[in-house]
Amino acid sequence: MKEIHFYFDVISPYAWLAFQALPKSLEGISHTVRYHPVVFGAMLKHHGQLGPAEMPGKRDWTYRQVMWLAKQQGTVLQMPASHPFNSLALQRMAVATSPKGEPSREVVEAIFKHVWCNGLEATDEARIAELQKHLTQMVQVSEPGFQIDIQSAEVKQQLLQQTQAAIDLGLFGVPSMVVDGQVFWGQDALPMLRAYLDGDAWFQSSDWLDVGKLPVGIKRSQALTHKA
């Protein structure tokens, strides 16, 4: 049985699309999926990058593309009232539903739907409180008395640790799927993930294995200061 690690931040519409498409992509393969909430903003900061929604032209394209992809995929996707937004409370909530910081698929789906299925403000305090109540009731079915505390130092530390663990794995974006130490990034990487799990020999070729050996011809900082 293959163990697949799904790294996500609910701020990403691509993560929502990949989450919804994952079960169909893995049909017929013996597997288990572990869900890891991370802080996308912290990953971007570590790598010195801006998010897609932080660049005006790319922001518009991203929203158009994800709505098109949702239409093609048959997944409900409504842009929240504002985006990007601070997803920390929602990510902490996901972590807080599990002692190990790894929420169930049902929990992750509920949080994604809170963001991407109604066109409302994702960070509205009343809505977040209602979501927390709903998730608490969900978890209490199997763990009576369980309470969610998104402000606990332990929960905050778990989210930071999971984010750092993702960075240490070389992850730079969400969604990222990791299996056998191999990284598959983005909703559009699901066919590659499927091919890998099916044992496609291409993943033993130099096209996959040796890309890190390609020399760097020029770095952007050098290009910006170069004079003809």
In the chain, domain spans: 2-202
- Mapped onto helix, strand or coil, the DSSP state of residue 184 is strand
Per the CB < 8 A criterion, the answer to whether 13 and 77 are in contact is: yes
Q: What is the dihedral of CA 33, 122, 92, 32, to 10 degrees?
A: 0
User: Tokens 């163990």 sit at which residue?
Assistant: 3
Strands 31-37 and 2-8, by their bridges, are parallel
Q: Give pTM, 2 decimals.
A: 0.94
Strands 2-8 and 182-185, by their bridges, are unpaired
State the pLDDT confidence band at 26, using cuts at 50, 70 and 90. very high
State the pLDDT confidence band at 228, using cuts at 50, 70 and 90. very low
Instruction: Give the residue with greater pLDDT, 148 vs 226.
Output: 148
Percent of the chain with pLDDT over 70: 96
Task: Write down the pLDDT at residue 227.
Answer: 39
Q: What is the pLDDT of residues 186-196, one digit of tens each?
A: 999 999 999 99
Domain 2-202 part of CATH 3.40.30.10: yes
